[in-house]
Amino acid sequence: MKKQIAIIAEHHKESVVSATFEAVSFALELSNLTEAKPVIIVLGKSIKEMAENLSKKTGLDVVGIEGGPLEFYNAEQYKFTLKYYLESIDPEYICMTHTAMGLDLAPGLATRLDASCITAVEGIKSQDGKISFLRSMFGGKLRAEIMPKLKKSVITILPGAWKAQELDPMENGHVDIKAAPSSISTSRTITVKEAEEETLNLDDAEVIVAAGRGIGNEENLHLVKDLAKIFNKSAIGASKAVCDLGWLGYKHQIGMTGRTVSPRLYIACGISGSSQHISGMKDSQIVVSINIDPNAAIFNVSHYCIVEDLATFIPVLLEEFRNFVGTT
């Protein structure tokens, strides 16, 4: 039987998250190199319509596995169900998005399937018939090439690394809906509540001034806010580190698990430039970064690189701005 690449679809509120289509693009590239056949697997309580839409949009075969305990994502239920099904089709690669779900699921699933686990993949390399995967390390400072040693690999795909293509297939794929095996009782997700969304116009802002852990402490946020105030249509962004520390709310977070923005000007203050952060701001028209580390990865995507302590630089810049405005 032809080898397969299983793509585990992620969905929320009855729609498939867009990063799943990026995982499809990854699987199609891998399929060209290995001749393995991609198949999408979607788990849920009632997913026939979603499975049919997926097959229509991608032209790929889709297997839907339905069961009450799968209504919401739950690592234990997903691992149990996927192990059961994946052992029957024995795919060479099992891929999913590098999101909170993918990160939660991939390592445990790999252990259960006796598979290699390679996360945050950004590229594929094929040499002498051997496939390896590329990923960033140490906040984007190093690039690693990883070759799986086991027969199967569980892979998470970094959002933004592949584009979700408009496939427009000639034919729908085959859809097969199966009942989940009787569930395990260790845990079950009862409900999922969303954080209340406050209206913060990161999408409409022409200028985003973003704070990173390098601002040092919450009190120094005023530097970033004062800098944002000199622009008309501006908003405050943040790295995940700043949100995790509670210095700003998660609605400000930019990056893979935050917002994706593309302002005219992005000013990164004390942000190292992890691949997860960069994936959310790389389409900004002009990027200015202030960082004390001349080797900070954020400088690789910056048009203007300021190697300086932000607590020194921002007040001087504001002072110069006030002097300039005062004389015009």
Ligand X SMILES: Cc1cc2nc3c(=O)[nH]c(=O)nc-3n(C[C@H](O)[C@H](O)[C@H](O)COP(=O)(O)OP(=O)(O)OC[C@H]3O[C@@H](n4cnc5c(N)ncnc54)[C@H](O)[C@@H]3O)c2cc1C
| Residue 291 and residue 311 in contact, taking contact as beta carbons nearer than 8 Å | no
> Could you give the string, one character per residue 31-70, with x where binding to ligand X holds by CB under 6 A and - elsewhere?
----------------------------------------
Out of 27, 154, 256, 261, which residue is the one contacting ligand X (CB under 6 A)? 256
Smallest Cα–Cα separation from 43: which of 19, 7, 18? 7
Does residue 272 bind ligand X (CB under 6 A)? yes
Stretch that binds ligand X, among 110-118, 170-178, 196-204, 247-255 (CB under 6 A): 247-255
CA dist 258 and 197 (Å) reads: 12
Q: Does 290 bind ligand X (CB under 6 A)?
A: yes
Closer to ligand X at the Cβ: 173 or 273?
273
CB atoms within 10 A of CB 101: 20
CB of 235 to ligand X, least distance (A): 15
Rounded CA separation 318/231 (Å): 12
Does 310 interact with ligand X (rule: CB under 6 A)?
A: yes
Residue closer to ligand X, measured from CB, 26 or 80: 26
Label the pairing between strands 116-121 and 93-97. Answer: unpaired
Which residues are within 8 A (CB) of 111 and not within 5 positions of it... i.e. 6 or more apart?
A: 117
Nearest distance in Å: CB 311, ligand X: 6
Length of the chain: 328
119 binds ligand X (CB under 6 A): no
Is 248 near ligand X (CB under 6 A)?
Answer: no
Interface with ligand X includes 258 (CB under 6 A)?
Answer: yes
For ligand X, give the closer residue by CB, 65 or 238: 238
For residues 113-145, b (16+ Cβ closer than 10 Å) or e, as one string? bebbbbbbbbbbeeeeeebebbbbeebbeeeee
In angstroms, what is the minimal distance from the CB of 276 to ligand X? 4
Whether the Cβ atoms of residue 280 and residue 301 lie closer than 8 Å to each other = no
| Among 270, 284, 302, 317, interactor with ligand X by CB under 6 A | 270
The 184-223 contact track toward ligand X, x by CB under 6 A, reads: ----------------------------xxx-x-------
Among 273, 278, 241, smallest CA distance to 262 is for: 278
Within 130-159, the residues that bind ligand X by CB under 6 A are 139
Residue among 7 and 248 whose Cβ is closer to ligand X: 248
How far apart are CB 68 and ligand X at their closest, in Å?
29
Task: Calculate Rg over the CA atoms of the chain.
Answer: 22
- Alpha-carbon torsion (243, 236, 140, 165), positive or negative: positive
User: For binding to ligand X (CB under 6 A), which residues are involved?
Assistant: 103, 139, 212-214, 216, 239-242, 253-258, 270-272, 274, 276-277, 280, 290-293, 296, 309-311
